[in-house]
Amino acid sequence: MRIVSIGGGPAGLYFSLLMKKSDPAHDVTVVERNRPDDTFGFGVVFSDATLEHVAAADRESHAEITSHFAHWDDIEIHYRGQVLTSAGHGFAGMSRQILLDILQRRCAELGVRLEFQRDVADPSDYADADLVLGADGVNSVVRGRYAEHFRPQIDWRPNKFVWLGTTFPYPAFTFLFKESPHGLWRVHAYRYDASMSTFILETTEDTWRRAGLDRADEDQTLAFCERLFARELQGHRLLKNRSLWRSFPTVRNACWRHGNVVLVGDAAHTAHFSIGSGTKLALEDAIALAQALQSHGEVEKALRAYEEDRRPEVERLQRAAQVSLEWFETAERYHGRLEPLQFAMSLLTRSFRVTHDNLKLRDPRFVSAVDRWFASRAEDQSQVAVSAASPPPPMFTPFRLRDMLLTNRIVVSPMCQYSADDGTPGDWHLVNLGSRAVGGAALVIAEMTDVSREGRITRGCTGMYKAEHVAAWKRIVDFVHAASPARIALQLAHAGRKGSTRRLWEGADEPLAEGNWPLISASAIPYHPHSQVPKAMDREDMSHVREQFVSAARMAEQAGFDMLELHMAHGYLLASFISPLTNARSDGYGGSAANRARYPLEVFDAVRSVWPSARPMSVKISATDWADGGLDFDDAVAFARALRDHGCDIVTVSTGQTVPDQKPEYGRLYQTAFSDRIRCDAEIPTMTVGGIASYDDVNSILAAGRADLCVLARGHLYDPYWTRHAAYEQGWDLPWPDQYASVKGFTPRKD
């Protein structure tokens, strides 16, 4: 087989040596534009896991590579005069030049032809080879030449960074945060041999321009950085090596192969340097491609198998890298706002791959310091004593909203049961909500309950519009209070244009077959093209509905609810004013974000004025519509801030369900990033909901300051005793009701 690798970086060299090793009859050439010892960059990092693959693929190069490793276990975070250390991370660094030297030598030894200083202008010059490897890095000419087949997407990130070296031998993987009059600077530094470290400096474009670095050459950059970090470098020098300021491109390709041409490494995909995985991905691509060629004789089949094998892993890593790079891009959000230990947790858990539990395994001392700190903050906030000597896991700390005290941080999300009779909740609701309160959650939010009969989604929805509703709800509230320490809230709503539809299991959001009632909304825009066209509310309708909310709030007080949540999410009536996709009004309630917020805030104020001042109120919002032309995230933040200013105590941050053609990115904790940003930027407590399934995620979210309470919906349908089970797993003693006292001697078994 005749193989040409365009590019002699880690991907091209490693693939070439693996192919030659598997069959010396292969004719393998690496074409590289640089000289053999002409490298860009300083050191690269590997995690322990990467090296297992490399060891299995070629023991010889693995042995040489590992003999040059600088190992470290700690991550150090330098933040406002403090150094926070988290141990047990298991990384190794080495010089990129030495890595390339080893791979070049191994290639030569096995008989790979290496052609240096040959710049390939047109890859089709090699079309007669059996296989052409696009291993030519981030600015790949191969990718550009066949762009219509690979369909690359290049996302240029806004921050600026420069890759430097230093003679300061950092003892740990080090993150430095440093403020100057120009702004905030972040450094990612790690040692790659006995005496040298990589030193990547990153900042926002604004800070970079304010510092005049847009006009700086390499030497001026170096001088500036040495001045800025003089104290941290302790007399050591910074070193340059084509150290130009860049923006990071996240490279993705719809397809990685075309005929006999295939992309590997950075040409195919990049992952931000903050997760240090570019070289790992390049080597793993090389291994997977070589294996695919060995298993499938035919090139076409092998290339397909390679892409099918690698794409899921690469995309998983790119998702983690995306969250990570966004954290660094927006570090100003956290810097100075979070206390040091919480800042460190936020940084360490930024991509959700490192969690409270696995940090505890790596470094129990660090996590117990975090838990102690968190417990003391919870004690201050709730005015309830929390043991500092043996602090609870974050999820079992108390939290106060006005006079409502929650004994832990778990909330049952409101979930429509579609089982009411003209709005009246019955036995199903009693058992459903009652069992979840007994199950240990601190707060149970009863389902979306409508302020009028015509404000219901379906005929089975609960309401708060008839005198008998008060008594029916009071029976449930009284049970929850008598049987558990849980507090219970009511979610008040009006369905707007999403009303008059079938029950979930009969066709969600589909109009009734018969007996539809008239709908109202911010504008006369139907949900589906085949849905009923709602009436655009006039001022009289708006006042009428506002008073219905007020009346329902009074009834909720009589029923004894501890908290009210107003539903301003998911495209229902109040949300229809907020989103530009559903609000096309030309009066003072449409147009600008402030105008679109006016009516929802008017309803909030009216309800707040009658709801007892000792009891809290929350509002659930959709922070994005997941659709083009939808709510701008900055507007969502401004709305949350306005809610805070109007006396809202906490915001539940949800997303979407505004329009049927939304494109949500579902997954684990898929809405938590929105909660994190609203909590910091709008400076209001938040509840996060969506894809929360493990107590470990709950502890991580809370300790990192991404929310104050964690809300589980489907998790609680699956397991009403979710909180009790989480307590058991963590060895935390959650008192049982007297009736269940004998469970204490019982050991549940899974086997």
Ligand X SMILES: Cc1cc2nc3c(=O)[nH]c(=O)nc-3n(C[C@H](O)[C@H](O)[C@H](O)COP(=O)(O)O)c2cc1C
Ligand Y SMILES: Cc1cc2nc3c(=O)[nH]c(=O)nc-3n(C[C@H](O)[C@H](O)[C@H](O)COP(=O)(O)OP(=O)(O)OC[C@H]3O[C@@H](n4cnc5c(N)ncnc54)[C@H](O)[C@@H]3O)c2cc1C
- Binding residues for ligand Y, per CB under 6 A? 6-12, 31-34, 41, 44-45, 119-120, 135-138, 141, 163, 200, 265-267, 273, 276-280, 282
Question: Residue 414 interacts with ligand X (CB under 6 A)?
Answer: yes
CB of 462 to ligand X, least distance (A): 9
Residue 691 partner contact from ligand Y, ligand X, none using kind-dependent CB cut-offs of 5 to 8 Å: ligand X
Q: Which does 119 bind (CB under 5 to 8 A by kind): ligand Y, ligand X, none?
A: ligand Y
Considering the complex, state which of residue 277 and residue 723 has its C-beta at the smaller distance from ligand X.
Answer: 723
Residue 33: which of ligand Y, ligand X, none does it interact with, CB under 5 to 8 A by kind? ligand Y
Nearer to ligand Y, 311 or 337 (CB): 311
- Nearest distance, CB of residue 216 and ligand Y, angstroms: 17
With CB cut-offs between 5 and 8 Å by kind, which of ligand Y, ligand X, none does residue 567 bind?
Answer: ligand X
| Shortest distance (Å) from residue 36 CB to ligand X | 53
Compute, in degrees rounded to 10, the torsion defined by CA atoms 308, 312, 314, 317. -170
The count of other CB atoms within 10 Å of the CB of residue 298 is 10
Q: How many CA atoms lie within 13 A of 617 on its CB side?
A: 26
- Listed in sequence order, the DSSP H helices in 330-449 are 331-334, 340-348, 356-362, 364-382, 427-438
Indicate left, alpha or beta for 326 from its phi (over 0: left) and psi (-120 to 50: alpha): alpha
Q: Which does 163 bind (CB under 5 to 8 A by kind): ligand X, ligand Y, none?
A: ligand Y
Beta bridge partners of 490: 446, 564
Beta-strand relationship, 197-203 and 183-191 = antiparallel
Q: What's the min distance (Å) between Cβ of 381 and ligand Y? A: 40
What is 570-603 written as a DSSP string? TTSHHHHHH-TTT----STTSSSHHHHHHHHHHH
Q: Does 620 bind ligand X (CB under 6 A)?
A: yes
653 half-sphere exposure, CB direction, 13 A CA radius? 31
> Is residue 572 annotated as a catalytic residue, yes or no?
yes
Residues in 213-242 that interact with ligand X by CB under 6 A: none
Q: Which of 126, 572, 589, 695 is catalytic?
A: 572
Nearer to ligand X, 24 or 660 (CB): 660
Q: Which is nearer to ligand Y, 282 or 563 (CB)?
A: 282
- Closest approach, Cβ 530 to ligand Y, in A, equals 50
Is position 416 an interface residue for ligand X (rule: CB under 6 A)?
yes
Measured in residues, the chain has a length of 751
Examine residue 521 and tell whether it contacts ligand X (CB under 6 A): no
203 binds, among ligand X, ligand Y, none (CB under 5 to 8 A by kind): none
In whole angstroms, give the CA distance from residue 313 to residue 323: 16
CA–CA separation, 492 and 425 (whole Å): 14
Q: Which span sits near ligand X by CB under 6 A: 33-41, 178-186, 242-250, 685-693?
A: 685-693
Q: At what angle do helices 695-703 and 340-348 cross, to 10 degrees?
A: 130
Among 92, 98, 268, 692, binds ligand X (CB under 6 A): 692
Alpha helices in 459-592 (DSSP H): 467-483, 504-507, 539-559, 573-578
Is residue 714 part of the contact set for ligand X (CB under 6 A)?
A: yes
Q: Min. distance of Cβ 423 from ligand X in angstroms?
A: 14
Q: Verify binding: residue 447, ligand X, rule CB under 6 A.
A: yes
Cα Rg for the chain, rounded, in angstroms?
30
Q: Cα separation of 293 and 295, whole Å?
A: 6
Q: Pick from 413, 531, 548, 672 the residue near ligand X by CB under 6 A.
A: 413
Contacts of ligand X in 557-616 (CB under 6 A): 567
Q: How far is CA 572 from CA 196, 340, 553, 634, 672, in A?
A: 59, 40, 18, 21, 22
E strand or H helix at 163: strand 160-166
Least distance in angstroms from the C-beta of 41 to ligand Y = 6
Binding test (CB under 6 A) with ligand X, winner from 39, 86, 491, 582:
491
Q: Interface mask (CB under 6 A) for ligand X, residues 338-367, using x and -?
A: ------------------------------
In this structure, the dihedral spanned by the alpha carbons of residues 97, 102, 105 and 106, taken in order and rounded to 10 degrees, is -150
Measured from the CB of residue 711, what is the shortest distance to ligand X in angstroms?
7
CA distances from 485 to 106, 149, 405, 698 (A): 68, 61, 10, 20
Query: Whole-angstrom Cα distance, residue 334 to residue 321?
Result: 19
Among 70-78, 364-372, 395-403, 706-714, which window interacts with ligand X (CB under 6 A)? 706-714
Is 727 a residue that touches ligand X (CB under 6 A)? no
Helix axes 299-329, 278-295, angle to 10 degrees: 170
Minimal distance, residue 285 CB to ligand Y, in Å: 8
Residue 715 makes contact with ligand X by CB under 6 A: yes
Work out whether 415 is an interface residue with ligand X (CB under 6 A).
yes
φ, ψ of residue 490 in degrees (nearest 5): -115, 135
Segment (H or E) for 5: strand 2-6
Strand, helix or coil at 721? coil
- 279 binding partner (options ligand Y, ligand X, none; Cβ < 5 to 8 Å by kind): ligand Y
448 near ligand X, judged by CB under 6 A: yes
Residues near ligand X, by CB under 6 A: 413-416, 447-448, 491, 504, 567, 620, 654, 689-692, 712-715
Give me the active site residues, please.
Answer: 572
